[in-house]
Amino acid sequence: MTRLHEPMTGVDFDAYVDDQLDAARRVEVEAFLAANPGAAARVMGDLRIRGELRLMLAEDTGARSVATHQAARRLGHGLARGRLAPRLRRAAAVGALVAAGWLAHEVVGPLPMGEVVASTPLPAYVGEAVRAHRTSAMRAAMVSQPEAPGYDPIEIRAATAIVMPVLPDSWRVTDVQVYPSQFGPSLEIAAVTPAFGPVSLFAVRPGTLDITKPETAHQDEATAAFFQVGEVAYALVADGDRPELEKAAARLAATLH
């Protein structure tokens, strides 16, 4: 018989849906769900919605018209009837809008982009990410400021509501810090990587809901590859001119879908 070692909370269910639990805790959650049909039904509903969002965000364009239309219709019905959990309602709305955008693109073609759109200013969190990167480098050089390499994404999510992407196995985390920002608590992870040397991964909840692909920007002699998935925005920062950083950010973003 599987015994629950810790009380089950909504955070555990969220982490289960996002596949961010270790094997032992996942077994405990599944044992709890097996004994609680009501909770199991809600979690299965969340899993279905996550699958539909993944379908709409898939890169494969083979059957995009039919698939996105059906997924958007199901999400729309769920929103109208209020069946979705509050934490998924806004994400589902974004998914429906993304699907609608794809369908419009297929019917009328891409929308023209004017000069005003092309020159959109950088999100404010990008500047904060670069400053946090500089602060982490300063801390690393100070003997009196010991680094804190312990990294627990589940604890971070529970404390800050920030979901972190899965880091590559080749990255060695050297410091994890929670910093204040104009948007609330932000997270800064410093790591050493084979391709870029020292990097920082910054994450914050900017108060908006969006899904954006990684873009790069240069600021303070550093390169930041920034993107947003749902309610959390991310910026991968490295020193110097690093155009290839965008691909690394895209791989991180892919672990969140």
CB 101 within 8 A of CB 211: no
Q: What domains appear along the chain, each with residue ranges and CATH number?
A: 10-108 (no CATH), 121-254 (3.40.1000)
**Whole-number Cα distances in Å, 223 to 12, 120, 137, 144:** 35, 18, 15, 28
H-type alpha helices, 58-192: 64-81, 86-108, 115-118, 124-140, 153-160
Q: pLDDT at residue 83 above 50?
A: no
pLDDT band of 252, cuts 50, 70, 90: very high
pLDDT band of 42, cuts 50, 70, 90: confident
CA pseudo-torsion sign 161, 19, 44, 10: negative
Residue 24: per-residue pLDDT: 83
Model confidence, pTM: 0.55
